[in-house]
Structure 1
Amino acid sequence: MGTKKFIIFFCWLACAMGHEFYSSTDLMANLITKEEELVQSFGDYIEAVEVHLLKLRSVLLVLQILKLSGRPDLEMSDPLAAYKLMRRLREEWATIAEYTKLSPFQEYQDLLEYELQQIPGKNDLDEAAVGIIRLQEIYKLYPQNITTDHLTGTTVHLNLDQTYHLGKVAYTLGSYQHAFLWFLQCLSKIKEHKDADILKQLLFEYLGSSAYLFGNLPYEIYFTQQRVNLDPTNLEARLDLVSLKGQRSAHISNPDILTLNETSKSTYEALCRGEAVKMKSRRKRQLTCRYSTVGGNPKLMYAPVKEEEEWDKPPFMRYHDVISETEIEHLKNCSRPRLQRSEVNSKDSPVSFNRVSQSAGLTEEDPVVFRVIQRLSDITGMDMESADSLEVSNYGIGGHFGPHYDTGKRDESSDGYRIATILIYLSDVGVGGATVFPNIGASLKPQKGTAVMWYNLLQNGQVDEQSLHAGCPVFRGSKWIATKWIRERGQEFRRRCALSETE
């Protein structure tokens, strides 16, 4: 494989690997393919270097032969012999210089350095670790729950550095119980490390500090004692131990740091775990599903939409089979090259850890997008002329969208507030990823090919507090959605205003 082929390959690879692709679960899966390609290219590079070395060795052999056969005696040389030596040095070593310039080393090194800027960096690894800690907090997961697939039973083995990194991230986030549990895992992996004693001191300090900040004094005392036992000359640890022992009489509560609390004060977190749903079985039996023509829409007379009531007050409607498999793949493929970190409407920063996903807007110039949007208009009865562009999103490791309202204006020229939200599920999700409504206790699970609609405003134009919703973190699988926000303009006769303060 020649130098030019290397350059072509890496230029292609540079285009294919967009920045921050690892923040998306779907695009992150491409890392496996990219790694295989990088390994293959590295092997090709080594072969090219070996071929190049063979050429250099052949040149060296020729020079050695010339040197042995035509070496002048400098003490008895004449001008012609001197000239021949100078000529040979000039011509042969100029040739060698040209050969060395043909080496694929520099091109490969330059391109590889560029590629390293396109693959996950430290900040991206930290963000992935934050996602893992978020999953632990919301779904109440121990380290072994994260590292073991509950369906297959297979275990993902983390080395000492990886386990320590997760503990540090949890500690920085103030998630001291999870930090403690990850650091505890580190102790079991430290035996064969060459700097075991140094690392033990560091871990004992972090374990003690995590326990203390969590509120568990006995474990802080225990690990401080371990610091002293490991190094009796550690004056700081000895002083800490004396101080901590003096606090025992005044310290009353010592929460169990080894056992996760299965209950949560957050309704949002409880709903994500499948708890706190306020739809009782009797009430649920009163919900209906039907074939609907949406008030006699001629387009739906021969192919009525499958309409299902997901919630009664406020009404949430789910529409089945609104998008085909071919259309789903088209939307995903169109959005993949354009995915960027999702933004929020905020004065401080458009990028927020409250919304961790990647999104891309698609215009109606695409005939498939146009057809899907027209279908949404038909089945919901909403006018799409002033609606926002269809936004396709993919959620990464621990990707979520915390509790929020969809009513905000994007700019002064927009066509009013977002009166309604239509959410199309473009994939199923293995575990997690539900859309939940904390103020009413509702939970909507992703169901591929369906669309769900709810109103963000009451009929009197006020914000509907019950429309507060969130996208739960994805634990297993990849979550793809497409969102269409409907603006107020154009809906005046489709959803009439009400004068009542409660409607």
Structure 2
Amino acid sequence: MLHLTWYLACGMLLHLIFIESAKGEFYSSIDSMQDLVKVEENLINATRLYLEAQQKQLYIYSRFIQQIKQEQKSARTLPNLDEYLEHPLHSFRFLKRFVYDWDTLILGPIVNNNPREEFQHSVNDLFENLGYPNSSEVQGAVKGLARLQKVYNLTASHLADGAIHGLLYESQLDWSDCYEIGVQLFDIGDYSKSEEWLEEALILLEENLEMDHSDLYVSDIREYLALVNFELGHSNRAKSLLNENSAQLTLKYLENSRSREILEEGDFPWFANYSRLCQGKRLPEKQDNILKCYLDGKRHAFFTLAPLKVEQVHLDPDITVYHGVLSSKQISSIFTESNKKERIRSGVAGENGEDRTVKDIRVSQQTWLNYSTPTMQYVNRINEYICGLTMRGAEEMQVANYGVGGQYEPHPDYFEFDLPPDFDGDRISTSMFYLSNVQQGGYTVFPNLNVFLPPVKGSMVLWHNLHYSLDVDARTWHAGCPVIVGSKKIGNIWMHSGSQTFRRPCHLISDRHKSLAYRN
């Protein structure tokens, strides 16, 4: 197939020019991809310098060749070459060209190719710390697009046109982009979505049949569509997509290959409500309690002159949004500090609370900030004042940034069992600071409580993960919906129960029964 031949050639070229593999991961964080944008700007400049140097070399080559052609033309005007070579100056120039000029001006520069060497060194320097993106980055981005389709009910056609939920964006995909997405989805076993993207690629390509080799590309797409349909169990459809010019390897594959396992769609019991909430839609429900928005100047003396802007989102369990907690200047300071730290791919806690594994259920990057800088000291104080809990034993702020289709599927913040050894009790509360607005998507949702929250820059969301009895509250399972357009940045602070004996004392009657029905 043309696709395989083309990418094999590109892979060999990149192996020769660039660093072999990526040191970090880019698609899971917009911040990491912004680093790549800066690198690409420098890469453009390095390429420009390389082309200018090559053009200078080509000019030297061309001028030298013209001089030699003129010399030979003069020699051939004589009755014979002997007369030309018998002249001592002609002989000298002729021998000099072979001994020095050809080697110095032509053969040496072509073999050594100094501009290419300088270009390679420049590129290696650019990617020395970041590494060069590899094929796994493209696959990660494709998984993100498939995730957006699934959660937000988007079609390949709409995404290719840049039309997302009624908004039309300038960015559009051509047939080769759709083709690559389809191939990547085929490789990971998502055959239904692969078929959709390949069909879109075929439609867009057939609109441009005047381009060179379009018939070969059409044949290649039809072959992949045949493979997809074969994997989906549509054998007749698969064979109808092939013609007598199709590759024999494809026919042999259809006849002899065993079908691979089809990627399971989201059939989890929570998915329907999760998807609905991510789209900003709630199930109808009777509201027993009236939710309020109000100013609170009595919680702490700190808020006497500048009362808290409080929005109740849910009662029992309480989920509350405090607006305008952080200013843009303070958020910029947090970013300045976090950019000094190494970002790592966010993981999912293992059974012992320490081991973390990277899974697609959580696609983001994170770092941790202590409370030593003036801004972080303020965050420490304001969080303690709002929560009414002591920050003694609290975790450092986790600063997270979500990438292409970045998400975190429904999960609890508590551990319940196998607490990390340095924890003083379980995570009694979560303070989530929104550090950016998000153009589309990226809601925080609570599937068990029928609640969704759009990110609002500078606000803080607070909820308790444990009952007063310190039993876990399974109603607080929550999720970060995939980001459609924009960059979602949040800061999480988790308070521990071990130091809260007098700040949040246990009730005489256990309230554990309230969350039993919500356990998964």
TM-score between the two structures when normalised by the length of structure 2: 0.74
- For residues 59 and 492 of structure 1, do their structure 2 counterparts lie closer, same or farther at Cα, with a shift above 3 Å needed? farther
- Does 2:302 match 1:289? no
Shift of 1:239: 12
After TM superposition, the structure 1 stretch with the greater mean CA deviation from structure 2, 304-313 or 30-39, is: 30-39
Counterparts of 1:232 and 1:49, CA distance in 2: 42
Give deviations 1:96-143, integer Å, cap 9, x for gaps. Answer: 999897934313223325656734210010000001001101111101
2:15 maps to none
- What are the ranges of 5 or more consecutive residues in structure 1 without an aligned counterpart? 1-13, 213-219, 242-259
1:20 maps to 25
2:230 maps to 209
Shift of 1:166: 1.9
- Does 2:207 match 1:186? no
- Does 2:490 match 1:497? no
Are the counterparts in 2 of residues 421 and 484 from structure 1 also a CA contact under 8 Å? yes
After TM superposition, the structure 1 stretch with the greater mean CA deviation from structure 2, 469-478 or 340-349, is: 340-349
Give deviations 1:160-188, integer Å, cap 9, x for gaps. Answer: 44323322343455544322211211322
Aligned equivalent of 2:331, options 311, 328, 331: 328
- Does 2:238 match 1:224? yes
- Does 2:154 match 1:141? yes
After TM superposition, the structure 1 stretch with the greater mean CA deviation from structure 2, 451-460 or 221-230, is: 221-230
Are the counterparts in 2 of residues 401 and 471 from structure 1 also a CA contact under 8 Å? yes
- For residues 316 and 55 of structure 1, do their structure 2 counterparts lie closer, same or farther at Cα, with a shift above 3 Å needed? same
- Does 2:441 match 1:432? yes
After TM superposition, the structure 1 stretch with the greater mean CA deviation from structure 2, 361-370 or 161-170, is: 161-170
- For residues 42 and 174 of structure 1, do their structure 2 counterparts lie closer, same or farther at Cα, with a shift above 3 Å needed? closer
1:396 maps to 403
- For residues 438 and 173 of structure 1, do their structure 2 counterparts lie closer, same or farther at Cα, with a shift above 3 Å needed? farther
Are the counterparts in 2 of residues 425 and 448 from structure 1 also a CA contact under 8 Å? yes
2:273 maps to 267
Are the counterparts in 2 of residues 290 and 308 from structure 1 also a CA contact under 8 Å? yes
In the TM superposition, what are the counterparts of 1:57-456 in structure 2 within 5 Å?
103-113=114-124, 115=126, 118-147=131-160, 148-150=162-164, 153-154=168-169, 156-191=171-206, 192=209, 193-196=214-217, 198-209=219-230, 211-212=232-233, 220=234, 223-227=237-241, 230=244, 266-277=272-283, 280=286, 282-283=287-288, 286-293=290-297, 295=299, 297-337=300-340, 338-347=342-351, 349-408=356-415, 411-456=420-465
- Does 2:68 match 1:47? no
Are the counterparts in 2 of residues 184 and 207 from structure 1 also a CA contact under 8 Å? no
Letter in 1 for 2:44: V
- For residues 49 and 142 of structure 1, do their structure 2 counterparts lie closer, same or farther at Cα, with a shift above 3 Å needed? same
1:244 maps to none
What is the aligned-residue identity percentage?
Answer: 28
2:81 maps to none
Aligned length: 454
Are the counterparts in 2 of residues 27 and 336 from structure 1 also a CA contact under 8 Å? no
- Tell me, what secondary structure is at the counterpart of 2:163? coil
Shift of 1:230: 4.9
Are the counterparts in 1 of residues 157 and 200 from structure 2 also a CA contact under 8 Å? no
Shift of 1:300: 2.1
- For residues 301 and 205 of structure 1, do their structure 2 counterparts lie closer, same or farther at Cα, with a shift above 3 Å needed? same
2:41 maps to 36
- Tell me, what secondary structure is at the counterpart of 1:188? helix
Letter in 1 for 2:492: T
Instruction: Give the superposed CA RMSD.
Output: 4.4
Give deviations 1:215-241, integer Å, cap 9, x for gaps. Answer: xxxxx2552351465569989969989
Counterparts of 2:131 and 2:215, CA distance in 1: 33
Counterparts of 2:343 and 2:510, CA distance in 1: 41
Give deviations 1:222-266, integer Å, cap 9, x for gaps. Answer: 52351465569989969989xxxxxxxxxxxxxxxxxx99x9953
Counterparts of 1:313 and 1:136, CA distance in 2: 34
Shift of 1:202: 1.4
- For residues 63 and 416 of structure 1, do their structure 2 counterparts lie closer, same or farther at Cα, with a shift above 3 Å needed? farther
Are the counterparts in 2 of residues 321 and 450 from structure 1 also a CA contact under 8 Å? yes
- For residues 410 and 326 of structure 1, do their structure 2 counterparts lie closer, same or farther at Cα, with a shift above 3 Å needed? farther
Are the counterparts in 1 of residues 227 and 238 from structure 2 also a CA contact under 8 Å? no
Shift of 1:399: 0.2
Counterparts of 2:348 and 2:271, CA distance in 1: 25
Shift of 1:400: 0.3
- For residues 265 and 37 of structure 1, do their structure 2 counterparts lie closer, same or farther at Cα, with a shift above 3 Å needed? closer
Counterparts of 1:189 and 1:412, CA distance in 2: 57
Shift of 1:309: 1.0
1:253 maps to none
- Tell me, what secondary structure is at the counterpart of 2:168? coil
- For residues 230 and 95 of structure 1, do their structure 2 counterparts lie closer, same or farther at Cα, with a shift above 3 Å needed? closer
Counterparts of 2:362 and 2:86, CA distance in 1: 83
1:254 maps to none
Are the counterparts in 2 of residues 420 and 486 from structure 1 also a CA contact under 8 Å? yes
- For residues 93 and 196 of structure 1, do their structure 2 counterparts lie closer, same or farther at Cα, with a shift above 3 Å needed? closer
Counterparts of 1:172 and 1:155, CA distance in 2: 29
Give deviations 1:321-359, integer Å, cap 9, x for gaps. Answer: 100011112212322353221122125752121110011
Letter in 2 for 1:420: S
Shift of 1:298: 2.2
Counterparts of 2:332 and 2:305, CA distance in 1: 26
- Tell me, what secondary structure is at the counterpart of 1:306? strand
Counterparts of 1:410 and 1:59, CA distance in 2: 76
1:9 maps to none
